[in-house]
């Protein structure tokens, strides 16, 4: 299977991200409806409701921006031209958006969690859970930032080879 170009794995991933985008819009509407109008919202103080809404808005905006940016990167793969400066900029943005999501998780953990109830990982009748989501986004942000540097290095090598030929 081809990794880039028309009819490649990148084309399939792009279509998958398009579907995720549509599902994400529907999920966002349902989540905000639940937070603002749901039964749980009656039990939450107004200040906590505002904090939760702001954190959700920032986090969800970052997720949408990540998806949009990944679609742009995949478009460059479909067009068989991945090593361009715009992809370096996009990857740096995605890493910053991952850090913003991690920051939202940390703020939520500090203000809306009882530190005595903190559990690294736990299993209940609903499945496996963790209170360490922010670490995933910190690692993802670091990895994607490093990937942007790799792309920059590839562009530098490509430009150097173009000049020598």
DSSP letter (8 states) at residue 116: G
Residues 144-165: pLDDT tens digits? 999 999 999 999 998 888 887 6
Q: Which of 29, 40, 105, 94 is nearest to 67 (CA)?
A: 94
For CA atoms 81, 84, 88, 94, give the dihedral sign.
negative
Tell me the residue range of the domain where 148 lies.
Answer: 9-163
Residue matched to tokens 């959700």: 56
Residues 72-90: pLDDT tens digits? 998 888 887 889 999 999 9
Residue matched to tokens 């690294």: 120
In a domain, 99, yes or no: yes
Cα angle for residues 133, 139, 144 (degrees, 5° grid): 125
Q: Is the pLDDT of residue 5 over 70?
A: no
In a domain, 92, yes or no: yes
State what percent of residues in the chain have pLDDT above 70.
92
In a domain, 1, yes or no: no
In a domain, 2, yes or no: no
In a domain, 97, yes or no: yes
In a domain, 130, yes or no: yes
In a domain, 114, yes or no: yes
What's the structural domain count of the chain? Answer: 1
Residues 100-120: pLDDT tens digits? 999 999 998 888 776 667 777
Asked if 28 contacts 60 with a C-beta cutoff of 8 angstroms, the reply is yes
């Amino acid at each position: 299977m081809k990794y880039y170009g028309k009819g490649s794995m990148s084309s399939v991933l792009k279509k998958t991200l398009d579907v995720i985008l549509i599902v994400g819009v529907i999920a966002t509407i349902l989540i905000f409806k639940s937070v603002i109008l749901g039964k749980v919202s009656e039990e939450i103080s107004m200040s906590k409701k505002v904090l939760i809404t702001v954190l959700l808005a920032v986090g969800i905006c970052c997720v949408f921006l990540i998806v949009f940016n990944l679609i742009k990167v995949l478009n460059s793969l479909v067009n068989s031209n991945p090593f361009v400066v715009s992809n370096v900029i996009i990857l740096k943005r995605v890493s910053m958006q991952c850090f913003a999501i991690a920051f939202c998780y940390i703020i939520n953990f500090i203000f809306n969690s009882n530190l005595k109830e903190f559990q690294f990982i736990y299993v209940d009748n609903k499945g496996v859970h963790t209170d360490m989501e922010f670490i995933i986004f910190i690692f993802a942000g670091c990895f994607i930032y490093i990937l942007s540097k790799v792309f920059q290095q590839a562009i530098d090598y490509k430009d150097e080879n173009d000049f020598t030929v």
